Amino acid sequence: MSQKPLFRADHVGSLLRPLAIKDARKMHFEDKTANINELKSIEDNEIKKVINFQESLGFKVVTDGEFRRSFWHYDFIEGLSGFELEERETGVQFSGAKLRPFFPVIKGKIDFPSDHPMLNHFKFVSANTNVLPKISIPGPSCCHFRTTPDDIYPKEYSDNENLFFDIAQAYKKAVKEFYEIGCRYLQMDDIFFAYLCDPDHRSVRTKFGENPDDLINKYAWMLNESIKDRPDDMTIGMHLCRGNFKSNFAAKGAYDPAVVAVFNEIDIDVYFLEYDDERSGGLEPLKYLPKGHKRVLPGFITTKKVN
């Protein structure tokens, strides 16, 4: 394998949304006083600013801050063939807040369309930076973990093996499409490996008739299947955390139940592991990192806290 770029400073990709974009999104989606082109113009301007800001700090890799998204994973998932977002009475509970009550449901065969909006998101960053552009997308497990058995309509997906296979194939196509438009650094936000280290979340999956440890292994297979055929000059990152919505978390627990699969069953180049407080456990799981090209960037700095 060819030498991958090593950065002394990097970040997970998501940045705090500026007020100009918050106001523009409210005007477009709620007040209906701004059209989509006006919203996009403001997004373009603010993304150019944040790219320049990252470059001014010396970063050799930049992102768009995920400024165009309503939420970190639902925009990508909704853009996949076979998925729809459904509004319900109440959202997912975090430690001190609830998400907006939207949930992904699977209505048809899952696939990655060639006109997925995030391909253009990447193209915009690439055209407006002098360093390496990176895009972060939700990992394959997000397509399953955020659903319940009642959210999966196609009969063929009543068997998780069929579901996981099609998710992996869709992501394999996504990796290929991003590479073909020039992406050489793709990050998978596959945070639900960390959720499956939390006893409460493990209990929920057990109630659905699923074995949490088996899920970890199946999620690892899905992700590795998605990325295993990438070209040598494409770096793949993996971000794990326990949720961050308005500085609230959704899970807790050390990485121990998932770390062997995460480090040894998935051909990841760089891991971004949340380590911002005691909820993350200690650094002992890092002993399972194999020797070679893999590296870990522990996340000691977080936007959840001012100091």
Rounded to two decimals, what is the model's pTM? 0.92
Per-residue pLDDT of the chain (307 residues; tens, 9 = 90+): 445 666 777 888 899 899 999 999 999 999 999 999 999 999 999 999 999 999 999 999 999 999 999 888 889 999 999 999 988 777 666 656 666 778 899 999 999 999 999 999 999 999 999 999 999 999 999 999 989 899 999 999 999 999 999 999 999 999 999 999 999 999 999 989 998 999 998 998 999 999 999 999 999 999 999 999 999 999 999 999 876 655 565 567 788 999 999 999 999 999 999 887 666 777 888 899 998 889 998 877 666 666 6
In the chain, the number of structural domains is 1
Which sign, positive or negative, has the C-alpha torsion 294, 9, 125, 43? positive
Q: 37 with 45: CB under 8 angstroms?
A: no
Which structural domain, as residue segments, surrounds residue 156?
A: 19-299
Residue burial 126-153, b: 16+ Cβ < 10 Å; e: rest:
beebeebbbbbbbbbbbbbbbbeeebbe
13 is a domain residue = no
20, 40, 67, 264 from 25: Cα distances, Å: 9, 10, 10, 41
Report the SS3 class of residue 24. helix
6 is a domain residue = no
112 is a domain residue = yes
**Residue 254: which CATH number?**
3.20.20.210
7 is a domain residue = no
14 is a domain residue = no
132, 159, 285 from 10: Cα distances, Å: 11, 39, 21
Tell me the sheet residues that pair with 297. 272
